[in-house]
Amino acid sequence: MKKHIVINVAGKVQGVFYRASTKAVADQLGVKGIVRNQPDGSVYIEAEAEPGILEMFVEWCNEGPEKAHVTAVSTAEAELKNYRNFEVVKK
């Protein structure tokens, strides 16, 4: 059964290929959703997948790409939106 979670990632996560890396990992795991930068310097992610896959995805979000420095990750469950793919949203 698919779940939808909202993930907020804080730290040095902009300008370090965080969004592109997130998309690559999401595609690899089969996670659907979106990722975008927030004005406050954090990264916002909506992710949909099986619970076990979301766990692995959130684990990756805590690490991020090589140059990122993640200080906090929060997750919350939300309503399923049935995304078709994983997209980097550019403002």
Taken in order of first residue, the domains within the chain and their CATH numbers are: 3-80 (3.30.70.100)
pLDDT at 57: 98
Q: How confident is the model at residue 91 (pLDDT cuts 50, 70, 90)?
A: confident
Tell me which DSSP letter residue 26 carries: H
Residue 69 CB neighbour total at 10 angstroms: 10
Nearest CA among 63, 66, 78 for reference residue 33: 78
Q: Which two tokens stand for residue 24?
A: 């690559």
User: pLDDT at residue 78 above 80?
Assistant: yes
First to last CA, the chain: 31
Catalytic residues: 19, 37
Q: Quick check: 12 pLDDT over 80?
A: yes
What predicted TM-score, i.e. pTM, was given to this entire model?
A: 0.97
pLDDT, tens only, 34-51: 999 999 999 999 999 999
d(CA 47, CA 7): 8
